[in-house]
Amino acid sequence: MKFIVIGGDAAGMSAASRAKRHNPDMEIIVLEMTQDVSYSACGMPYNIADTGRDIDDLVVRKAKVFREKQNIDLRLGHMVTKIDPVKKEVSGTDKDQNEFALPYDALLIATGASPKMLDVPGTHYPGVHVLKSLSDGRKIKSYLRENQVKRVVIAGMGYIGLEMCESLRKLDLQVDMVKPGDAFIPWTHPELSGAVQEEVENHGVNLHMGQNITEIQKDGERLIIQCTGMDLPCEMLLVAIGITPNSRLAKEAGLSLGPEDAIAVDKSMETSCDGIWSAGDCADAFHVVTGKKVWIPLALRANRGGWAVADNVSGKRTELPGVAGTAVFKVFDMEVARTGLTEKEAMEAGFSPASVAVTTRSKAHAHPGNQPVHLYMIGDRKTGRLLGAQMVGKDGVAHRINAAAVALHAGMTVEGFAQSDLAYAPPFGPVWDPLLTCANQLIKEL
C-alpha cells in the first residue's frame, strides 16, 4: 500500500502521521513544495507582534522528526504539477528542478489555499505582503526588522486583517485598514459589529470602509496606496482580502469541484475519483445545519479531515458529519465568535429565520470586572431549530460559543437549547448565561 500526500501542513501531516500509527508498514510519501511542514499558521499574527520570538517557534514538528522518528518519507521542495487518476500517478519537479513521477494506491490532496491578491497595478513592489504560509510570515517579520516601517495599510477587514492590526499596533506602527464594503463586519448584527469597531478604533487603528484600492505606487522608500477617495502613504501594504482553494491540480485531473471551487469531497473525504482524497483548506464540507456543501477553511477541520483520510485509507471506515462554521478571533481585548448560519445564509438555505440581538454581561450581578456581552442568535420559525449564534465581548466569549456549536450539531431547537443546564458561578457569568438569555428572547420571536 503506497499512500501519497500532496502538501505537508495540517491536513497532510495529520493524515500521514495517523496512517503510520495505524499501519507502520504502509509506505507514505509526503510531497511538500515549500521547505516548511506542520506549523501553526494561525499563530503568525501573535508571533509577528513579538520581536523576541522567532517565527520558526511556530513549527509544531520538524521535518526531521517525521522522517526519523515516524518513518514518513517527507520530501520538501517537491512541486506536484500533475495527477493522473487513470495511471494512478503524480508527477512534478523536485527542488533541483528534476522531474519525478510516483505511482500511488491512495492519494491525498492537501494543497491548502492561497491568499487572494489585489488586481491592481503595483502589487509587485517590495513592501506588498500577504500572510498565509510560514514563508509569508517570515518575509513580513524580516521586512519589518530590516526596513524603517512606520505606517502599514491593511487591505481587508477579515480575521487575518484584524488580528494583524492588533499585532502591528503592538509594534507601535500606524495602521490604516481599507475595504470596499460599507459594513465593518458585514456578517453580523450592527450592534456586535459596532462594539468591535469601537474597540479597534479605540486602539488607534484608522478604518476606511467603502474604499477600493485602485493602484499601488512607489515613491522613493514609501508606497502610496491609491484608493477611490484618498491616498494612503505607507511603508508596507498587507493584503488580507481572503483566500482561494488550491484546487487547480484536482480540476485538471477531472475531479469535481464544490462551492468556491474547493475540491468536492464526500463525508469520508473522498473526491469524485475513487482512491483520491482531499482534506484541509482546499476541500469543501457539508454544513451540519443546512446539510449542503460549503467551503469554510479552518484549522480544526483540516486536522480532523486529515485524520479521517488516514482512517479510511487504513481500512477503518470514517465519516465526518460536517462543519458548523464555528470560528473565533481576538482583536485587542475583544473576542468575536460565531457558529452556524448568519440570518442571510439562513434565508438563502430556505429557512424562515427570526433573530434577536441582546446585550448582557459577563459576570454575576455586583461582581467586579463585569463586561458587556453582545449576542445575536438566529432560529427557524418553521421548525424552531437553532440556526446560528454570534457573540462579541471582552470576557468569556471564545469558549461560550461552543455550547451553541454543539447544539447545532445535535439539531436542537431554540427551546431545547434554552433549557440547557449551563454552569454558573459569579466570577464566570450571570445565573442565566448570556446564551440562555439570548435564547429566551429568541423564543419570543419564533
For 279-420, strand residue ranges (E) read 285-286, 293-294, 327-331, 334-340, 353-361, 372-380, 386-393
Q: Are the C-beta atoms of residues 437 and 360 closer than 8 Å to each other? A: yes
Choose which of 1, 207, 349, 422 interacts with a copy of itself (CB under 8 A): 422
* C-alpha span between 45 and 55 (Å, rounded): 10
Residues in the chain: 446
Minimum CB distance to a copy of itself smaller for 95 or for 399: 399
Q: Using the rule CB under 8 A, is 272 a contact of a copy of itself? A: no
Contacting range for a copy of itself; rule: CB under 8 A; set: 133-141, 208-216, 218-226, 330-338: 330-338
Q: Quote the least distance from Cβ 427 to a copy of itself, whole Å.
A: 5
**Three cell numbers, residue 354:** 427570526
Q: How far apart are CA 251 and CA 125, in angstroms?
A: 31
**Strands of 170-263, DSSP E:** 174-178, 206-208, 213-219, 222-227, 231-234, 236-239, 243-245
Q: Give SS3 for 19.
A: helix
CB of 375 to a copy of itself, least distance (A): 14
Q: Which lies closer to a copy of itself via its Cβ, residue 223 or residue 442? A: 442
347 part of the interface to a copy of itself, by CB under 8 A: no
Site for a copy of itself in 379-408 (CB under 8 A): 396, 398-408
User: Comparing C-alpha atoms, which of 376, 348, 354, 355 is closest to residue 292?
Assistant: 348
The answer for residues whose C-beta is within 8 angstroms of residue 168's C-beta and 6 or more apart is 48, 49, 152, 154, 175
Q: Which of 13, 246, 244, 16 is nearest to 111 (CA)?
A: 246
Q: How far is the CB of 430 from a copy of itself (least distance, A)?
A: 9
Is residue 417 close enough to count as binding a copy of itself by CB under 8 A?
yes
* 42 catalytic residue (yes or no): yes
Window 59-78: contact mask with a copy of itself (x via CB under 8 A):
-x------------------
Considering the rule CB under 8 A, would residue 335 count as an interface residue with a copy of itself?
Answer: yes
Taking CA atoms, 284 is separated from 6, 37, 288, 297, 318, in Å, by: 17, 22, 13, 8, 17
Closer by beta carbon to a copy of itself, 56 or else 221: 56
- Using CB under 8 A as the binding rule, whether residue 323 contacts a copy of itself is answered as yes
Report if residue 266 touches a copy of itself, rule: CB under 8 A.
no
Segment interacting with a copy of itself, rule: CB under 8 A, options 114-122, 168-176, 222-230, 359-367? 359-367
Active-site residue set? 42
Q: Which positions lie near a copy of itself, rule CB under 8 A?
A: 10, 40, 42-43, 46-47, 50, 53, 57-58, 60, 288, 298-301, 303-304, 320-330, 335, 337, 339, 364-368, 396, 398-410, 412, 416-417, 419-429, 431-433, 435-436
